[in-house]
Amino acid sequence: MRTTVGIIGAGPAGLLLARLLHDAGIESVVLESRDRAYVEQRQRAGILEQGTVDVLRAAGAGERMDREGLRHDGIELRFGGKRHRVDFPALTGGKSVMVYAQTEVCKDLIALRLKDGGPLLFEAEALAVEGAEGDRPRVRFRHQGAEEVLECDWVVGCDGFRGVARRAIPASVSRGFERTYPFGWLGILADVPPSHDELVYARHDRGFALLSMRPPVARHHPSEEVASLPVRSFVSRLYLQVPAGTDAGSWSDEAIWDELERRFETDDDWRLERGPITQKSVTPMRSYVHEPMRHGRLLLAGDAAHIVPPTGAKGLNLAVGDAVTLARALVHLRDTGSAGLLDTYSATCLRRVWQAERFSYDMTTLLHRAPDATPFDDRLQLARLERITASRAAETDLAEAYTGFPLV
């Protein structure tokens, strides 16, 4: 099997890159180790920056997002019983974000890929990337019980932190930068309407909490008279800071709701709505960057190259930035014969990656309480929050970073 661009991984980076290349008339093959059902069901967060929304629309993948996604024009910071809304459009010249889960983005891109007839092989496990230093790299993979070889002009690794692509870059030229946090997020899905119409980021002496939501999902109406009409059911997504290594099952539903109420407490009459919890999980918190993001004809994108803690909602958006940058570079090579943009791909992406890492670190340390925090540390956190609420410049910096850095 031969193609121009071999893409390992059908996550947002790989699927969007394949779509952008298809629109530009460049062939690609996507290899995904999991089956389609797994890819379309694995739960991931989904706060889409303005630039990501614009790219998906331009790629023809925005119809359902615009219909079902939730546009948010701000977030609420909550601390010391006080509430402060950050107004994105007023601070950024009109930018907003979209609440639309990564799972749904992948569903939309998969549907487009299959509709267009582009090769997308599920249950195709990449075993190795070979020949990246030469002009004919190849991917060895296993599909339907047989080992096959995909020959390419370029290989793009979008196969996550544990994938084969990053490991194919020699240790002699690789550098990894990492930070592991001593806490994680206990996340729940609950069948209850959100208690606020925008995301709430709460700093509390007991730890951080986040109130989020998922777009309404269609459910069968219980009444026979309107059985043909779906009911749009809101779902709340909430998180609690917990010690690293916490077992989600060690928290009862009642204990979770009680702790959320404590951390979201305000001086006014705001109340947290409770409901049935349908899912619990714990997300570890870590930051990681691999440099470089290119070795010969092998390029990395998405989680294969970088990971951010979820506080800043940057993971999916960084993947989109990588895909856009790489697609433009490959189109430029095809149209001009110049590899100039490919030669600067790693440096271009890493500038944006490190800004996202910086913002995610700032948000994490601003809102989470470290296990060894001192009263001095607590007062510094509060001073930083007070600065944001009192200074338009500081508030604008947060809003600009949250709604998205330039894609290129």
The whole-number pLDDT of residue 234 equals: 75
Q: pLDDT tens for the chain, 408 residues: list them.
A: 999 999 999 999 999 999 999 999 999 999 999 999 999 987 777 899 999 999 999 999 999 999 999 999 999 999 999 999 999 999 999 999 999 999 999 999 999 999 988 899 999 999 999 999 999 999 999 999 999 999 999 999 999 999 999 999 999 999 999 999 999 999 999 999 999 999 999 999 999 999 999 877 554 444 444 444 344 467 899 999 999 999 999 999 999 999 999 999 999 999 999 999 999 999 999 999 999 999 999 999 999 999 999 998 999 999 999 999 999 999 999 999 999 999 999 999 999 999 999 999 999 999 999 999 999 999 999 999 999 999 999 999 999 999 998 887
The whole-number pLDDT of residue 225 equals: 43
Domains and their CATH numbers in the chain: 5-72+97-180+285-369 (3.50.50.60)
Instruction: Say how far apart CA 106 and CA 111 lie, in whole Å.
Output: 8
The whole-number pLDDT of residue 223 equals: 43
Distance of alpha carbon 170 from its chain centroid, rounded? 27
The whole-number pLDDT of residue 233 equals: 62
| Residues noted as catalytic | 72, 201, 310, 314, 402
Q: DSSP states of 358-392 as a string?
A: HHHHHHHHHHPPPTT--HHHHHHHHHHHHHHHH-H
Distance of alpha carbon 208 from its chain centroid, rounded? 20
Instruction: Say how far apart CA 34 and CA 17 lie, in whole Å.
Output: 19
Q: Which residues, at least 6 apart from 72, have a Cβ–Cβ distance to it below 8 Å?
A: 47, 88, 96, 97, 98, 99, 198, 199
Instruction: Say how far apart CA 366 and CA 181 lie, in whole Å.
Output: 13
Instruction: Work out the number of other CB atoms within 10 angstroms of the CB of residue 263.
Output: 21
Instruction: Say how far apart CA 132 and CA 148 lie, in whole Å.
Output: 17
